[in-house]
Amino acid sequence: MKNIGVAIVALFALSCFSLLVGVQDVSIANWWQDPQNTDLFLISRIPRTLAVILTGASLAVSGSVIQMLARNSFVEPSSVGTAQCASLGILLVTLLYPGSPLIIKMIVASITAMIGMAIFLTMISKLPVTSPLLVPLVGLIFSGIIEAMTVFIVFEAEMLQFHGTWMSGEFSGILRGRYELLWLCGVLAILTYIVADQFTIIGMGKDASINLGLNYKQVVILGLFILALSTSLIVVTVGMIPFVGLVVPNIARRMMGDNLRASLPWVAVLGALLVLTCDLIGRLVHFPYEIPVGTILGVIGSFVFLYLLYARSTHAR
C-alpha cells in the first residue's frame, strides 16, 4: 500500500475516463478532428477534471494541517467553522458590494475564515487534553452557530438559492475561466509540503514545539493562512465539500504514521482520487442528470469514517 505509483496510475485512469463522461458523446477515434469536440474538451471537460483533482488534493491537505494545529484527528475545515466562515464572508461581500469580482470575494472569505479558525483554536486551547472528543464537538457547535447566522441573513435578504449553491459542492458549472483560482490551492499544497516538518512538530503541542526551538506563533499563523485561503478558494469556486479533509488524512496516517512530510503525497493523491471517484458516481448514477459530489461524499464519507473509528490501525509504531 505504500507504493504511491499505484494510486497515481488509478488517478490518471479515472481522469481519462472523466474526460469521456458527459451528455454529448465523443468518438475517441476522431475527437481531435472535430472542432466541436476539441472545444468541448478544452472549455468544459479538461477544466472540470482538473478542478476536481485540485479540489480533492487541497481539501485533504487542508484537513491534515487543521488536524495538526488542533491536535485532533476528528476535525476538518467544514466541521470547525472554517468553510462556514468563508461562506459568511462571501455573503457579506454579495450584500455590501454586489457584482464584486471573484478575487474580492476570495480575499474577504479568506479573512473571515482565518478569523473563524483563530476563534476555534482559542476555544479548544482551554479544553482538557484527556477529552479529545470535546474538540470536534466544540467545532460542530461553533460551525452550527456560524451557519445559523448565515441562514438568518440570507433568509432576510431573500438569497436562500445563493446560499444553497455555496453549501452544496458540485462541479457542473466549472468551465474554462471559472476554475483557474484553484491552481493557487496547488501552490498552497506545495507550501504545506515544504513546511510539513514544522506542522508535525506543532502536532506535539505548544510546549514541546517551543522547547524544540520552533517559532510556534509564526507556524500557527502560516497554517491559518493556508487553511483560510484554500477553504475560501474552494467555497467560492465549487462550494462546500464534506468529509474529504476528515477521512483521507486518517487513512494516510494509518498507513504512513504521523510524519506529515512522508504522508502528504499520499494525502494529496488519495484526496483527488476520492473526489474524482465520487464526482463520476454522481454523474453516472442518474445519467444524464447529476447528483452533487457533496451529496455523494456525505454518504460515502460517513461510512468510511465510521469504519475508521472501529478499524484497527495497520501502521506499526
**pLDDT (tens digit per residue) in 26-44:** 666 555 666 677 777 788 8
C-alpha cell at 42: 478544452
Q: What is the mean pLDDT of residues 205-218?
A: 86
The reported pLDDT for the residue numbered 308 is: 76
Q: What is the mean pLDDT of the chain?
A: 84
Q: 114-118, 178-182, 239-243 — which one is most confidently predicted on average?
A: 114-118
Confidence check: pLDDT of 283 > 70: yes
The reported pLDDT for the residue numbered 55 is: 93
Between 43 and 119, the more confident residue is 119
Tell me the domain boundaries of the chain.
71-240, 244-310
Confidence check: pLDDT of 217 > 90: no
The reported pLDDT for the residue numbered 1 is: 47
- Give me the sign of the Cα torsion angle 277, 191, 240, 93: negative
pTM score, whole prediction:
0.88
Q: What is the mean pLDDT of residues 252-265?
A: 85
The span from the first CA to the last CA of the chain, in angstroms, equals: 17
The reported pLDDT for the residue numbered 58 is: 94
Confidence check: pLDDT of 52 > 70: yes
**pLDDT (tens digit per residue) in 130-175:** 677 788 888 889 999 998 998 899 888 877 777 766 677 788 778 8
The reported pLDDT for the residue numbered 316 is: 42
Distances (CA, A) of 134 to 129, 152, 227, 306: 9, 27, 21, 18
CA-CA-CA-CA torsion for 66, 165, 179, 305, nearest 10 degrees?
A: 40
Are the beta carbons of 66 and 146 closer than 8 angstroms? no
C-alpha cell at 190: 506545495
Q: What is the mean pLDDT of residues 197-221?
A: 87
The reported pLDDT for the residue numbered 259 is: 83
CATH code linked to domain 71-240: 1.10.3470.10
Whole-angstrom distance, CA of residue 100 vs CA of residue 34: 37
Confidence check: pLDDT of 177 > 90: no
Confidence check: pLDDT of 61 > 80: yes
Are the beta carbons of 170 and 238 closer than 8 angstroms? yes
- Give me the sign of the Cα torsion angle 275, 231, 54, 181: positive
